[in-house]
């Protein structure tokens, strides 16, 4: 049997409004004995308030909408778990959706989440995100009236709160690490030009080469979509380029593709060249030589994103701040010193 406040009121011999005020810790003119009795009856009957009714009365749902581009990608899977856990610590539930890297689907999901009454939106953008009508998107975001945080991206053309990783600095740290180990011919597997954060990583790589007096070679530049498959497809060209002594990849997944191709063709990729990736994937440590990688500080990024969103919800004030998370180079065993 599910007990209601009306049942508690009858058992305690008080009015329904008195029970409501006591259970919500609101001021009410009753004795401490009566207050204690009401709470005791509620505990003994395992009373659970109607969450929908509470939400309506307080104009909050304690639900946060989360949109990610690809839940099958370990990076986004880890981010989703972190967001869910951190929101739960603050009493919020997560309404989750995968956009399948589609800007059109993102807009549709955003509309649906707002119609479901979420208190705010966390959007990890698709690769198509910045290649759409920004004015139209800004209008949609503004019309929601909801706190909104763009995660893992910076949008200079949008008036939104954003939290991003310093992609330029991450690539610069990785490139400098390879240079400091004597490498001069460093291949770079970049994300496609339209991908979120790809241009910043390319610039970090290229400008660090130039800062060290090294020539940028276009034939050392490769392109992928951050997947194992795209690394696999680029592997033959990279491995057979005898000038290349090191590889910097915009994702660990693409390095896994290179290692896969090398294993199938009886080539030891770790003897062939040094390697650094991005994302600090959990599988980095199970390769023959654990991979050196750029850690994007997911926990820190999530903490900043959730904190910014909840602050807007509590203060009932939408802000447009841009927060940047500092990267960290995780040194393992995939980079070796060579003679200059």
Give the residue range(s) of CATH 3.40.50.2300 domains in the chain: 61-166+298-326, 167-296
Contact between residue 68 and residue 99 where contact means Cβ atoms under 8 Å apart: yes
Question: What whole-number distance in Å separates Cα of residue 13 and Cα of residue 19?
Answer: 10
Which of 151, 310, 329 has its CA nearest to residue 248? 329
Which of 38, 44, 48, 43 has its CA nearest to residue 10? 38
Structure tokens at 66: 């989360």
Answer whether residue 53 shows pLDDT above 70.
Answer: no
Which of 13, 20, 70, 16 has its CA nearest to residue 37? 13
pLDDT tens, 252-297?
A: 999 999 999 999 999 999 999 999 999 999 889 999 999 999 999 9
pLDDT tier for residue 55 given thresholds of 50, 70 and 90: low
pLDDT of 6: 86
* Residues ≥6 apart with Cβ < 8 Å to 185: 217, 220, 243, 244, 245, 246
pLDDT tens, 107-148?
A: 999 999 998 889 999 999 998 898 889 899 999 999 999 999
pLDDT of 54: 53
Question: What whole-number distance in Å separates Cα of residue 43 and Cα of residue 59?
Answer: 26
pLDDT tens, 170-203?
A: 999 999 999 999 999 999 999 988 788 999 999 9
Place of tokens 């900043």: 304
Rama region for 25: left / alpha / beta (φ>0; ψ in -120 to 50; rest): left
Burial 275-285 (b: 16+ CB within 10 A, else e): bbbbbbbeebe
Answer whether residue 19 shows pLDDT above 90.
Answer: no
Averaged pLDDT for residues 198-213 = 97
Answer whether residue 60 shows pLDDT above 80.
Answer: no
Exposure of 243 by Cβ count < 10 A (0-12 exposed, 13-18 middle, 19+ buried)? exposed
Give the residue range(s) of CATH 1.10.260.40 domains in the chain: 5-49
Question: What whole-number distance in Å separates Cα of residue 155 and Cα of residue 112?
Answer: 23
Burial 127-142 (b: 16+ CB within 10 A, else e): bbbbeeeeeebeeebe
Q: At the topology level of CATH, where does 61-166+298-326 sit?
A: Rossmann fold (3.40.50)
Q: At the topology level of CATH, where does 5-49 sit?
A: 434 Repressor (Amino-terminal Domain) (1.10.260)
Answer whether residue 10 shows pLDDT above 60.
Answer: yes
* Residues ≥6 apart with Cβ < 8 Å to 40: none
Contact between residue 80 and residue 71 where contact means Cβ atoms under 8 Å apart: yes
Structure tokens at 176: 């400098």
Lowest mean pLDDT among 24-28, 149-153, 258-262, 274-278: 24-28
Q: At the topology level of CATH, where does 167-296 sit?
A: Rossmann fold (3.40.50)
Please give the C-alpha separations between residue 213 and each of 79, 208, 295, 339, in angstroms, as whole numbers.
Answer: 37, 9, 27, 18
Question: What whole-number distance in Å separates Cα of residue 255 and Cα of residue 324?
Answer: 26
């Amino acid at each position: 049997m599910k007990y209601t406040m009306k049942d508690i009121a009858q058992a305690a011999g008080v009015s329904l409004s008195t029970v409501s005020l006591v259970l919500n810790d609101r001021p009410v003119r009753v004795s401490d004995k009566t207050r204690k009795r009401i709470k005791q009856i509620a505990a003994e009957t395992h009373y659970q308030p109607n969450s929908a009714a509470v939400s309506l009365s307080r104009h909050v749902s304690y639900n946060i909408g989360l949109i990610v581009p690809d839940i099958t990608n370990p990076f986004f899977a880890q981010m989703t778990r972190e967001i869910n856990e951190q929101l739960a610590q603050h009493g919020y539930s997560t309404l989750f959706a995968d956009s399948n890297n589609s800007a059109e689907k993102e807009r549709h999901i955003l509309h649906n989440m707002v119609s479901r009454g979420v208190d705010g939106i966390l959007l990890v953008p698709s690769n198509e995100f910045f290649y759409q009508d920004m004015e139209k998107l800004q209008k949609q975001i503004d019309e929601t009236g909801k706190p909104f945080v763009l995660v893992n991206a910076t949008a200079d053309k949008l008036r939104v709160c954003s939290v991003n990783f310093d992609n330029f600095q991450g690539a610069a740290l990785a490139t400098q690490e390879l240079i400091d180990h004597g490498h001069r011919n460093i291949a770079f597997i970049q994300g496609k030009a339209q991908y979120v954060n790809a241009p910043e990583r390319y610039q970090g790589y290229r400008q660090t080469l130039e800062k060290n007096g090294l020539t940028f070679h276009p034939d050392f530049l490769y392109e992928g979509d951050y997947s194992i498959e795209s690394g696999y497809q680029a592997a033959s060209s990279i491995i057979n380029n005898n000038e290349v002594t090191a590889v910097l990849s915009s994702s660990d997944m693409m390095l896994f593709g290179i290692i896969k191709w090398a294993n199938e063709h009886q080539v030891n990729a770790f003897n062939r060249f040094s390697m650094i990736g991005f994302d600090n994937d959990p599988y980095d440590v199970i390769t023959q030589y654990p991979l050196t990688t750029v850690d994007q500080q997911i926990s820190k990024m999530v903490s900043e994103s959730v904190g910014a969103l909840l602050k807007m919800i509590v203060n009932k004030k939408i802000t447009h701040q841009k927060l940047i998370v500092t990267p960290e180079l995780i040194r393992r065993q995939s980079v070796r010193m060579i003679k200059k």
